Structure formats: structure tokens, C-alpha cells
Amino acid sequence: MPRHSVAMTTHIADALRTHLIRDDGDEDLCFATYSISSGATRISYLLTSILLPEPGEREVHGNASFTGDYVLRAANIAASRNEGIALLHSHPDGRGWQGLSRWDRDAESSYADLVLGLTGNPLIGLTLAGIDTSWSARTWLGAKEPTWTESVRTVGRSLRISWNNSARPSAAATAYQDRTVSAWGAAAQDDIARLRVLVVGVGSVGLDVATRLAATGLTHVGAMDMDYVEDVNLDRMIGATRADAAARTPKAAVATRLMNSASTALKADFAAYVSSVTTEEGIAIARDYDVVFSCVDRAWPRAMLNQIAYSDLIPVIDGGIGIDVFDDGTMRGATWRVQTATPGLPCLQCNRQLDMGEVQKERLGLADDPEYIKRAGGGPRQRQNAAILAGSVSAGQLAQFVSLVVGPGGEGAPLPQRYLLGPHVQEALRYDTGTYCRFEARVGEGDHRLGLL
Ligand SMILES: [Zn+2]
């Protein structure tokens, strides 16, 4: 059985709250359309537009009610876009994940079959709790009983998740985490510990990121890398051994080994994937996660992740380092960048971290072709990196993660950051979304996303 989740942008969540939480304290309701994002083990329903009631389509009287015409109008709009519909209503006095009242159950179940028939997609029910604005959601797969989703994600510069405690039980903090919990409080720790985080690329930077997530108490972290440890990796993969290089241990397996030894959780589930996000299998796994760290230096996998940040509402925290050397081999300087790709912030292409020409070269297999590189007038690919500086990149990415999921000072993920080693200057980069950005124009389209494979 797949897991189910609902996601929406902060923008849509704000508009829904404005409509559903009324000044007079009554319940209200509306419909929305959604698209589907299929992962390997999770189906996410991504809200794409709000269909507010037109005059006469709903009545507010303590419990709100709606007409059959409103359902038909919403279902026909959704069907014309190959999308589904969600029925959303508020419980003004509710707090936390809401169950179904008898009225809720009757209203949703009586339209479930009709909606499935008209749109080909199940009716999704969402409830907004008025006191703490948390969401709860279920999907009506035609049966008379709903299937509850495990979470509802609100995604923008901040990531806020409403958890279904029966499907994703709270991970009790342990005595090992006292200092961590004292940094942001038990509620934030409880939210962070349940996040599913994928680290793509577990070399120098990604291995450090993964280990620190495990030490923080996260219970579901995946490590994805299709490479095996070699001698040349040992100066950067802290914790990988000469025996790993001799045995050619998968880098992802080194990551889960280190995560297991660093973990402070009572029970954790760390997954190793010897795979790449440039395959159908690998990118489907990425769509199972709530946040992805991009710790790869290739353009194509970064483009794949840049896409799901917007199309599938999964924030991607990206980073990279460039070390400049003079012709005589001595060091000239270094620059590193960290940035979060998420609705509300420019994508990696717009903030000049992704060259779609390079993506195309890698897709065609030309990036490592010596003949092609010679003809194009390029030199060998520069691979300078040093463990002593990689920690600066992982630190920057982890700090962005804290801003995204904890939001210190009420701030979410910041603008892209650049650090110049020579003068030791860190600066925020103010890039705007490009007019023709293909990524940010397609927020929440899920499985309708453009092909990049
Ligand atoms: Zn963009």
C-alpha cells in the first residue's frame, strides 16, 4: 500500500485560510483542484488552484453546506485539466489533526463515487483546524471508508507539516538530544525528527550533511549515490576507510553506516540507494521525501532536483564549491554557494547555478567524452575539492535547512548565499526569476512535469 500525502504552496495555504477562517466563527468550505505526484512509495496530492464558491453554491450556517452544482462545476474544471478535486472545510475550534464528524463523513462519502467517475481521480477531503491552522486530509478511493494521508505539507520559504499521529507517530526525544531540543523546543524537534530527508550525493559534503541529520535525531534519512568508494575519495569522505576503498563499498552504504553510529533517535530507518536521480527509479525515490539535499556537482542531477522542488513541492537545498588554482598549481581562491530551491525563491537556473547547456551535454553523454571536450575547446573537468573546505558547504546547507524547517525569528529559507574565501566575505545574491523560467512557471504540476530524462 502506498503512503499518501497532501502538499500545497504557502501562497495557496494563505488564501485558503483567508477564506475558511471566518470572522463570525462559522465553518466555511470550498473546492480546490489537485495534481498527482507519484513517488516510489508515496502518492502526493498537490493543490493547484482554489475554486471559491459562486453566489448560491454554498450556505454558511454553523455547518456549511454546498450544492451539487458546485461539485459538478469543480469536477468539470478539474477533468478538463486532468486533475482531481479536493473539498476543504474548517473546524473553527479545532486544534491538531482533525477526525471526521458525521456531517463531514456524509458530505464527503456521498460525492466520492461521483467525483471519481467525473475526474478519474479520488475526492480528497481536507480539514483546517481554526486554533492552530493545522491541516488534516484523507482520500476517498471509492470505498465507504477514507484512507488517511500521513501528512499535509505547506511549502514555500518555510516548510510546515501537519502530521497524522497514527500514520507517522511522534518520535520521542531522547536524553541524548537535550542540548538539541533546547535550541528550538520540543515541538520543533518533534516536527524535524519525523521529516523524511534525502541526501543526494554522499561524498565530502553529503556525507557530513547525512551524519549531522542523524545526530540531530531525524528518523528517516535516505542516502543516494551510485558511486563506490575509491582511494581518491578518502581525503574527503570522513568516516570511509581504506577497507571501504579496497572492497569498493557503495558510498550510500558508508552513509547509512555512519548515520547509524551517529543517530540519537530511539529507532531510526536510514536507507541507502545505489541509484541516481537521472533515472526513473531514482527520481521516483526522491519524490517520496519531504526535503532533499543536493550535494552533487553535475548539472543533470541538479536540474532533476531543481524541477521537483517546484513541480512536486519538495524543497531542495543545494550547495557547491569551486576552488581556483593558478596555472602553476598554487591556490588562487575558492567560492562556495548554498541555496534553497522552493516556491517563493528563485530556482537554480535563475540564480545562475544551473547551465541547461551542460545538462544537455550530460544527457547526451558528451560531458566526459574526450573527443567532444577537445573539439569544444575545453580542458579536463576541474575536480579540486578539499575536506578542509567541504565542511563550509555542508554547514551552509544545514543552516538553510534550519531556516526552512525551524524558521528562527520567523524567517524562512534565505536568498542564495555566496562565500568568497580570499577576502572572507559572505553575500546574499538577489536574483529574480527569469521571464521564461520553465521550472518556476510549473509549480505543483506533479506528474504533468516536463520530461528531463
Ligand atoms: Zn527559475
Q: How far is the CA of 304 from the centre of ligand 1 (A)?
A: 13
Q: What is the pLDDT of residue 451?
A: 85
May I ask the CATH class of domain 3-163?
alpha beta
Q: How far is the CA of 223 from the centre of ligand 1 (A)?
A: 26
Q: How far is the CA of 343 from the centre of ligand 1 (A)?
A: 10
Q: How far is the CA of 221 from the centre of ligand 1 (A)?
A: 27
Q: How far is the CA of 416 from the centre of ligand 1 (A)?
A: 13
> What value does the mean pLDDT take over residues 416-444?
92
Q: How far is the CA of 355 from the centre of ligand 1 (A)?
A: 12
Q: How far is the CA of 432 from the centre of ligand 1 (A)?
A: 8
Q: How far is the CA of 347 from the centre of ligand 1 (A)?
A: 4
Query: Mapping DSSP to helix (H, G, I), strand (E, B) and coil, where does residue 435 land?
Result: coil
Query: Mapping DSSP to helix (H, G, I), strand (E, B) and coil, where does residue 80 land?
Result: helix
Residue 277 is given by DSSP the state T
pLDDT band of 371, cuts 50, 70, 90:
confident
Q: What is the pLDDT of residue 378?
A: 58
Assign a CATH topology to domain 175-446: Rossmann fold (3.40.50)
Q: Which amino acid appears at position 189 of this protein?
A: Q
On the question of pLDDT at 95 being above 60, the answer is yes
> What value does the mean pLDDT take over residues 219-228?
97
Q: DSSP alpha helices (H): ranges in 159-267?
A: 178-184, 186-194, 204-216, 242-247, 251-262
Q: How far is the CA of 307 from the centre of ligand 1 (A)?
A: 9
Q: How far is the CA of 10 from the centre of ligand 1 (A)?
A: 18
> What value does the mean pLDDT take over residues 401-413?
96
Average pLDDT, the chain: 93
Q: How far is the CA of 82 from the centre of ligand 1 (A)?
A: 25
Q: What is the rounded distance in angstroms from the CA atom of residue 265 to the CA atom of residue 273?
A: 21
Query: Residue 451, class by beta-carbon neighbours within 10 Å (0-12 exposed, 13-18 middle, 19+ buried)?
Result: exposed
415 backbone dihedrals φ, ψ, rounded to 5°:
-65, 160
On the question of pLDDT at 401 being above 90, the answer is yes
Q: Which amino acid appears at position 50 of this protein?
A: I
- Say how many C-beta atoms besides its own lie within 10 A of residue 429's C-beta: 14
- Give just the sign of the alpha carbon dihedral 184, 190, 191, 195: positive
Q: What is the rounded distance in angstroms from the CA atom of residue 355 to the CA atom of residue 357?
A: 5
On the question of pLDDT at 33 being above 80, the answer is yes
Where do the structural domains in the chain lie, given as residue ranges? 3-163, 175-446
Q: How far is the CA of 306 from the centre of ligand 1 (A)?
A: 9
Q: How far is the CA of 13 from the centre of ligand 1 (A)?
A: 22
> What value does the mean pLDDT take over residues 356-384?
76
Taking only the tens place, the pLDDT of each residue in 173-194 is 899 999 999 999 999 999 999 9
* DSSP strand pairing (331-341 vs 417-420): antiparallel
Q: What is the rounded distance in angstroms from the CA atom of residue 257 to the CA atom of residue 88?
A: 43
Q: What is the pLDDT of residue 143?
A: 64
Least confident of 121-125, 243-247, 370-374: 370-374
pLDDT band of 63, cuts 50, 70, 90:
confident
Taking only the tens place, the pLDDT of each residue in 321-369 is 999 999 999 999 999 999 999 999 999 999 999 999 999 999 998 877 7
CA 366, chain centre distance (Å): 30
